[in-house]
Amino acid sequence: MQMKRRALIATASLTMALSSLPMLGSPSYAETVNIPVPKAAVATAFNAAFSSTKVRLHKDESYILLPNGQKKPLDTPDPIYVFDFPGINRNIEYSLNDMNTHSIQATVNGNRINTDVFFENQGEEIKARCRRKLFGKWGDCSLDMERDLHLDNSSLSLSLVPAAYKGSIAFTDLSTKFKTDVRIANKTCNTVLSPVKQICEAIEGKIKKTMTPQIEQKVANSFNELKPEIADKVRNAAGIRNLINPAWKVTKVTSEGNNFIVTVERPDQIDGSSVKDLSLRPIQTQFTSTCPAKVKLDATIQMKHTVAGTGFLTYENGQKSNTFNWNAKKGEAVTSSVTRTFEGSPGTTSNGSAVMQIQWKGSDGKTYEKTSNKATFSVKCTQSASDKIKL
């Protein structure tokens, strides 16, 4: 239901009235809108947010370097596996060796963003060390067999669903997966020969049953703790910021085709549609009075949003009134009265007209304006007055 109120257009009174209205940049949210954001833009934002993530696997010095610069240790065993030669005091110790991530890539899969962190494929990722016991002491030894192992196609994958988080976009339903292929250099772990087959199977078992769950859980826990930082990075990513003002409040994220539909609460966007209508009419179209006469006009502003601005009237002789201030609240129809002094010769009838023009600033910094209809009237003077029109 539309509200109506009356106010007197006068510079002093309306200037004071403006102080009681919220500023246009107020953090209060006035409207809820759905904004389509390309999934590729969201994937790029998460890729940027995760870009500084690093993983290093090296003996007992393994860690995850998180996007906020925190270093989280990984409790990888050293050695990861020990192969004992039966019947002799000799073994081979296998340790993780200088295994580092080097690139990251985010892709879209339905309603999920998949981020893959890839490891280098250089050198031997698992180094073997021959040890033997001689005269009661353990020391290094040599062994005429291929001992070092490669971990090929290694990657750490994070799969998540973008979701609203504290007014921005973070994630929910995070899953992590560490993958790698074990092979002995220049040979294959599919051999039926022992001890090669035993070594490969044992190391694969250690990686899958011990190291992999530990890495996956550590990564998941660490990134869940980082939601505030991730949300801030996504909020300010160029592809997101260009569509969603960082000051707006994200309340929901849903998947639809090639877009994520982001529901936001934001202040009303003040623009040319914020003033729905402006009309001007004389209270009396035919006015008989002693002159100078006071002619009253009613101006009605119908509002879509809360707006404040300035205005003036232009009369039939091309002259303009003083500039006045005006304001009106969202959903209101505000009727204000303006009084014009009209002078004319006694016993004569003069025709007059007025047009109102108002201006206001939009959320985009542009100046918008609206012009009323032309209000016409006639004044019959019943006593002597000067022949000019006084504003």
pLDDT tens column, 145-176: 666 778 888 999 999 999 999 999 999 999 99
Tell me, yes or no, whether 104 and 87 share the same domain. Answer: yes
Give the number of domains in the chain: 2
Predicted confidence (pLDDT) at residue 20 exceeds the cutoff of 60: no
Tell me, yes or no, whether 12 and 50 share the same domain. Answer: no
pLDDT score, position 343: 79
- For residue 331, give the CATH number of its domain: 2.60.40.10
Cα separation, 54 vs 63, in Å, equals: 8
Identify whether 261 is part of a domain: no
Tell me, yes or no, whether 15 and 43 share the same domain. Answer: no
Please state at what angle helix 227-235 crosses helix 212-225, rounded to 10 degrees.
60
Identify whether 20 is part of a domain: yes
Tell me, yes or no, whether 13 and 44 share the same domain. Answer: no
CA distances from 149 to 52, 96, 156, 183, 329 (A): 28, 10, 19, 6, 73
Identify whether 262 is part of a domain: no
Model pLDDT for residues 244-272, shown as the tens digit of each residue:
999 999 999 999 999 999 999 998 989 99
pLDDT score, position 185: 56
Tell me, yes or no, whether 91 and 221 share the same domain. Answer: yes
- For residue 42, give the CATH number of its domain: 3.15.10
Q: Domain of residue 350: give its range.
A: 3-26+270-381
The band of 9, judged by pLDDT with boundaries at 50, 70 and 90, is: very low
**342-357: average pLDDT:** 88
Predicted confidence (pLDDT) at residue 11 exceeds the cutoff of 70: no
Predicted confidence (pLDDT) at residue 385 exceeds the cutoff of 60: no
Identify whether 251 is part of a domain: no
> Which residue, among 278, 297, 299, has the nearest Cα to 370 in the 3D structure?
278
Identify whether 256 is part of a domain: no
Identify whether 388 is part of a domain: no
Identify whether 356 is part of a domain: yes
pLDDT score, position 147: 66
